[in-house]
Amino acid sequence: MGVARHGTGPMAALRAFGSQVHPVFMLPPVAASWFGSVLAGSFSPAVGAVHALAVFFAVYTAHVKDGYVDFHLRGEDDDHPLSVGGCRLALVGATLGFVACLAALWALVGPAAAAVTLPCWVIGYLHAPQLDMRAATTTLGYPTGISLAILGGYYVQTESFAATPLAFALVFLVILTGVKIIDDSKDYAYDRSIDKQTVAVLFGRRDARRLAYGFLVAGLSLVAVFALVGVFPTGAVLAAAALGVVVAVSARTTDPALATMLLVRGSYVFLALLVVAVWYRPFS
């Protein structure tokens, strides 16, 4: 059997491999890596590109493994572009790409740079089936990956950690935990039928929704606090205000799919405005 389940030849294989690139969920981790570099101030674009590519390979690994488990092992999905062999080949390729990036970071920066990047791949590879059946791990996996991408992006530029990147990593962890709880509630009925312990399954959709918006409000409040004490630039408050508007609008809908769509795109705007606030410091 070829690598593609639909079609034969190199183009079919290329389309099947490309199908596992999901921009909506892959762009934020890669952007978070670059955001970590921006936080460093003056930074090496080459080193930043290697770290961002490593993050890409880690997230690609997660998508391939998730599709393989959901379709070929669990039978949850109706279709999947890659055959079993294609999934395994994609996993090997992505892992080799990630290892090559680790080697480059080791050579360009040092062994610690490779060490702080490695957890991104570990989370991606273990997402399914090891981490996605329990509420804590399935909820925190993606937000933790984003936070690690920020910290790693900063570390590979500076070979150190500082209060600002740690604070931003915390903010994104809290905010994206809220988004992930809402996203998981889209599949409440199915997850409950297979005993997948998401927050919505454990606590019910209404209480999960309340908890999710509690995380979102807490994350936005942290931005204001960190700006007040000087850890964040003042412009970060405007980024939080923009996301706050999206949070308020999303709270008016009971459709978790629509709420997730709004919040994910609002997070893009939030990150973009944070980059402006950090790089240009318009109110300094």
pLDDT digits (tens, 9 = 90+) for 125-181: 999 898 988 999 999 999 999 999 999 999 999 999 999 999 999 999 999 999 999
Q: What is the average pLDDT across 232-236?
A: 96
Rounded (5°) CA angle 124-127-151: 45
d(CA 125, CA 144): 14
pLDDT confidence bin for 284, thresholds 50/70/90: low
Q: Is the pLDDT of residue 283 over 80?
A: no
3 Cα distance to chain centroid: 27
Peptide bond into 129 cis (omega under 30): yes
Distance between terminal CA atoms of the chain? 61
The pLDDT value recorded for residue 19 is 95
Selecting from 2.30.40.10, 1.10.3720.10, 2.40.50.100, 1.10.357.140, what CATH number does the domain 17-159 have?
A: 1.10.357.140
Quick check: 125 and 65 in contact, CB under 8 A? yes
- Measuring CA to CA, which residue among 125, 120, 183, 122 is closest to residue 147? 120
- Residue in the structure block whose two tokens are 């957890």: 119
Amino acid at position 166, single letter: L
Spans of all domains in the chain: 17-159, 162-284
The pLDDT value recorded for residue 1 is 56
Task: Spell out the SS3 assignment of the chain.
Answer: CCCECCCCCHHHHHHHHHCCCCHHHHHHHHHHHHHHHHHCCCCCHHHHHHHHHHHHHHHHHHHHHHHHHHHHHCCCCCCCCECHHHHHHHHHHHHHHHHHHHHHHHHHCCHHHHHHHHHHHHHHHHHHHHHCCCHHHHHHHHHHHHHHHHHHHHHHHHCCCCHHHHHHHHHHHHHHHHHHHHHHHHHHHHHHHCCCCCHHHHHCHHHHHHHHHHHHHHHHHHHHHHHHCCCCCCCHHHHHHHHHHHHHHHCCCCCHHHHHHHHHHHHHHHHHHHHHHHHHCCCC
Cβ partners under 8 Å of residue 48, min gap 6:
33, 34, 37, 153, 156, 157
pLDDT digits (tens, 9 = 90+) for 238-282: 999 999 999 999 999 989 999 999 999 999 999 999 999 999 888
What values do phi and psi take at 207, rounded to 5?
-70, -35
